Amino acid sequence: MNGSNRPRALWASRFGFVLAAAGSAIGLGNIWKFPYITGQHGGGAFVLVYLACIALVGVPILMAELLIGRQGRRDAVGSFVVLERPRSPWMLVGWVGVTASFILLSFYAVVAGWSFDYVVMAARGVLQDRSPVEIEALFGALVSSPVRVIFWQGLFIVTTVAIVLGGVRGGIERCSRILMPALFVLLLLLFGRGLLSAGGVPALRFMFQADFSALSPQALLDALGHAFFTLSLGAGTMITYASYLDPEADLGGLALRIALLDTFMALLAALTIFSVAFAAGIEPGSGPGLVFQTLPILLLELPFGSVLTLLFFLLLAFAALSSSISMLEVTVAYLVDEKTWPRWRYRAGGGCGFSGRFTQCPVFQPLAGV
């Protein structure tokens, strides 16, 4: 049994789709991971290899995934049934996507939860007037406190669920229309501030002057792996999102726009972080702690440092949220399409809540729509 005969939600516009798909692509991978792996692999040459992987491998696979979704008009598993036949071995690809996105969400929510915690710490001024050693220790205290980590991870997941419950248009698209422009403005602000600092020119040099002697085989593998991760490939996300597209959509143009936006934001984030690092005379190869340990120390040394720190962690939280909703949507679409589950359970006469009708719930009214 499947839900293929039920009316399917569509994006309100192609622009809305681009925002949602770019929202999926632009996430912790761009702002947290890309800068630190670029730092570890020595900058320019790695960036060139990464750009080649995006153009030669990422974009063609992105187009293929969009095509499967648009033609199949079902979830990541069901699209292969439509395009091939029931029980086709290709369904395995869809299954891998559903499983991968679900597992990914559990780890993603942990790091995203850290960024929620940092937003609150920055807003409360906890990071101010601290020595670098104390700021580094704050990160250690956070990750070694199960209560704090689970609380923020839980809150992040609840927020993700609330948005996905709103449906394709009323939840995901509406949210992306707010989160993506906000993300762009925040990043541009921080980028402008970073570039004006003494580290601006060294950061540009580090990112765009290629020294191929610094490249290792591991760098090539990391660039390729990251091209998949950053474009949300192989996780059923792009298949699922494209299944809500109108059948006439031009996939080449859409794929290019998504990849360009994603690459632009990654380069901007890395340049921002490296300018701040170079301004403080720090080498950018400090690994995964770069964003949570090194960056706050450096940002707080700049004028309006506490505002910049707050903006940066808000940026990280927004980026994570627009990606996590896409991960959850893969599983939700599978359950709705293949198992005929309603997105929101309805019980006649039920009140608001899990047994009530979502669109009647005043709390979620602003998000409801589809």
Interacting residue ranges for ligand PFF, rule: CB under 6 A? 24-25, 27-30, 101, 104, 229-230, 232, 235, 237, 323, 326-327
From the list 227, 238, 251, the residue with the least C-alpha distance to 97 is: 238
**Comparison of 164 and 279: residue with beta carbon closer to ligand PFF:** 164
How many residues appear in the chain?
A: 370
**Comparison of 294 and 323: residue with beta carbon closer to ligand PFF:** 323
- Name the residue type at position 320: A
Q: How far is the CB of 368 from ligand PFF (least distance, A)?
A: 24
User: What gap in Å lies between CA 131 and CA 122, rounded to an integer?
Assistant: 15
Q: How far is the CB of 326 from ligand PFF (least distance, A)?
A: 5
**Cβ-closest position to ligand PFF:** 29
Compute CA 339 distance to the chain's CA centroid, rounded to the nearest angstrom: 27
Q: Is 244 helix (H, G, I), strand (E, B) or coil?
A: coil
φ/ψ region of 183 (left if φ > 0, alpha if ψ in -120 to 50, else beta) reads alpha
**Comparison of 227 and 297: residue with beta carbon closer to ligand PFF:** 227
- Name the residue type at position 171: G
**Comparison of 9 and 330: residue with beta carbon closer to ligand PFF:** 330
Beta carbons within 8 Å of 5's beta carbon, 6+ residues apart: none
From the list 295, 231, 304, 300, the residue with the least C-alpha distance to 269 is: 295
Q: How far is the CB of 315 from ligand PFF (least distance, A)?
A: 13
- Cα dihedral 277, 282, 288, 291 sign: negative
Q: What is the Cα gyration radius of the chain?
A: 21
Q: How far is the CB of 30 from ligand PFF (least distance, A)?
A: 5
**At what angle are helices 14-25 and 174-196 packed, to 10 degrees?**
60
Query: Cα 157–226–198 angle (5° rounding)?
Result: 95
Q: How far is the CB of 330 from ligand PFF (least distance, A)?
A: 7
Q: How far is the CB of 317 from ligand PFF (least distance, A)?
A: 13
Q: How far is the CB of 53 from ligand PFF (least distance, A)?
A: 14
**Comparison of 80 and 229: residue with beta carbon closer to ligand PFF:** 229
The DSSP H or E segment spanning 357 is none
**Comparison of 28 and 215: residue with beta carbon closer to ligand PFF:** 28
Residue pair 34/270 in contact (Cβ under 8 Å)? The answer is yes
**Comparison of 65 and 337: residue with beta carbon closer to ligand PFF:** 65
Q: How far is the CB of 259 from ligand PFF (least distance, A)?
A: 11
- Name the residue type at position 224: L
**Comparison of 24 and 275: residue with beta carbon closer to ligand PFF:** 24
Residue pair 330/242 in contact (Cβ under 8 Å)? The answer is no
